[in-house]
């Protein structure tokens, strides 16, 4: 693309540097901005400055926050003996929206993935160990994706935490609510038979 | 979504205000920015400030430019007697990439669309008329989309310019190169039979 202005080109490149946005979409977004008021676009730009300058990582759980300690860790209503380990803050949002969990969190910041060059030291695993040792933690719930990387990380965490006096659990894997048996893959179905539950647990609410 | 930081929320809202970007994608993009260096994100933000403060609309043709007059209008190599009327600057990019056109352009800034509340006065049609009257223009090529709005605008422009001494043409409509007859809609196929060309014109290049 041979754009008629270098500022236009810079803005297109900026958008195109974001994941999942190609050059054409980037141009569409840039032209959309050009149709807005000057004030609106300046505010749009400032939003990202504020973001990078103001948003902090919670010192306890690595959730994002405006303060040093996030609102979940600060809340007196949460059960601090329960730590749910997640990959990133989107998982916290997903779990919070279920309104089923009253413990606190620990954000790993990724999953162990040798293919992508992510090792245990790139994650907040040492900090998690320290938390389990120093805080009054009774259970660590591993809530990672059911992928190769998730399983690898689960296993690594299990080995690290197993020697400590803490219960380690993982979220249940099985047939999703609303799924049909016929279309469920055999590994999930097999696991869900092996890990069958007392009937009472299966009732939704 | 109940985000843990208001700055995070603002950035997500900013991304989500762009066309085709939902809240989930906006969050993904925002978290992507947060993983970058502070300097990179500040530069990202500044790009949009520069965009809105520096990019101008060409005084002659309404193309975007860093200068008052765009590079196409300034070029001594272009045939200024030929004006190609397009909807927006993306169409200029598309036509320029064909390397088949050596005239200049006029960007309307949209198409007449009563449904969207866009009337002739919202477009640069008066300026186009003035250009045809004052510049040495021999031909106006209407290169608008083959849609209802494009046709309406074509017809409106034809009525406005017809009284002036200028040839008015539209880009050819017919079977796209590489298309199969069998799968072409009947209106296009019908038009392409009515507007058939001398055989020599049909050879690609």
Over the stretch A26-42, which tens digit does the pLDDT of each residue have?
A: 999 999 999 899 999 99
The Cα–Cα gap between A115 and A152 comes to 12
Measured between beta carbons, the chain B residues lying within 8 angstroms of A90 are: 27-28, 31
**Shortest CB distance from A45 goes to which of B25, B27, B48?**
B48
pTM score of the predicted model: 0.81
Q: State whether A48 and B11 contact (CB < 8 Å).
A: yes
Q: What's the CA dihedral at B113, B119, B122, B127 to 10 degrees?
A: 110
Calpha distance B141→A148 (Å, rounded):
58
Whole-angstrom distance, CA of residue A103 vs CA of residue A80: 6
Q: Indicate the burial class of B191 (C-beta count within 10 angstroms; 0-12, 13-18, 19 or more).
A: middle
Contacts of A45 in chain B (CB under 8 A): 45-49, 52
pLDDT of residue B203: 66
Mean pLDDT of chain B: 91
d(C-alpha A132, C-alpha A127), whole Å:
9
Domain extents in chain B: 6-54, 75-171
Lowest pLDDT segment from B40-49, B96-105, B186-195:
B186-195
* CATH, range A77-171: 3.40.1360.10
pLDDT tens, residue by residue, B145-174: 989 999 999 999 999 999 998 999 998 888
CATH of domain B75-171: 3.40.1360.10
Contacts of B51 in chain A (CB under 8 A): 7-8, 10-11, 30, 33-34, 41
- A153-157 long-range contacts (CB < 8 A, ≥24 apart) are A153/A108, A153/A111, A153/A112, A153/A123, A156/A112, A156/A120, A156/A125, A157/A85, A157/A125, A157/A128
- Give CA torsion, residues B54, B55, B57, B58, to 10 deg: 90
Q: If we measure between CA atoms, which residue out of A71, A65, A97 comes closest to residue B7?
A: A65
The pLDDT tens digits for A74-125 are 999 999 999 999 999 999 999 999 888 999 999 999 999 999 999 999 999 9
Structure confidence by residue, pLDDT tens digits, B63-109: 999 999 999 999 999 999 999 999 999 999 999 998 889 999 999 99
| Structure confidence at residue A202 as a pLDDT band (50, 70, 90) | low
Contact at CB, B48 and A7, closer than 8 angstroms: no
Residues of chain B with C-beta less than 8 angstroms from the C-beta of A47: 7, 10-11, 13-14, 45
Integer Cα distance of B70 and A109 in angstroms: 47
CATH class of the region B6-54 = mainly alpha
- pLDDT band for A183, please (50, 70, 90 cuts): confident
Whether the ipTM is more than 0.90: the answer is: no
User: Chain B closest CA to A92's CA: distance in Å?
Assistant: 10
Name the residue facing A64 among B8, B18, B47 (closest C-beta). Answer: B8
- Report the residue of chain A nearest B71, measured CA to CA: A4
Query: What's the CA gap between B48 and B14, in Å, rounded?
Result: 12
């Amino acid at each position: 693309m041979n754009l008629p202005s270098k500022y236009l080109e810079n803005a297109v490149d900026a958008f195109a540097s974001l994941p999942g946005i190609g050059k054409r979409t980037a141009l569409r977004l840039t032209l959309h901005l050009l149709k807005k008021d000057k004030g609106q676009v300046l505010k749009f730009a400032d939003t990202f400055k504020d973001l990078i300058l103001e948003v902090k990582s919670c010192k306890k759980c690595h959730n994002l926050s405006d303060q040093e300690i996030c609102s979940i860790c600060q809340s007196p209503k949460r059960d601090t003996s329960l730590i749910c380990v997640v990959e990133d803050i989107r998982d916290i949002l997903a779990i919070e929206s279920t309104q089923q969990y009253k413990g606190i969190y620990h954000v790993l910041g990724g999953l162990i993935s040798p293919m992508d060059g992510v090792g245990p030291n790139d994650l907040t695993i040492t900090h998690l160990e320290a938390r389990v040792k120093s805080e009054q933690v009774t259970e660590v719930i591993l809530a990672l994706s059911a992928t190769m990387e998730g399983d690898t990380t689960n296993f690594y965490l299990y080995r690290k935490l197993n020697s400590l006096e803490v219960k380690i659990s993982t979220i249940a894997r099985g047939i999703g609510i609303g799924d049909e048996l016929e279309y469920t893959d055999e590994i999930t179905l097999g696991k869900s038979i092996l890990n069958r539950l007392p009937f009472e647990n299966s009732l939704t609410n």
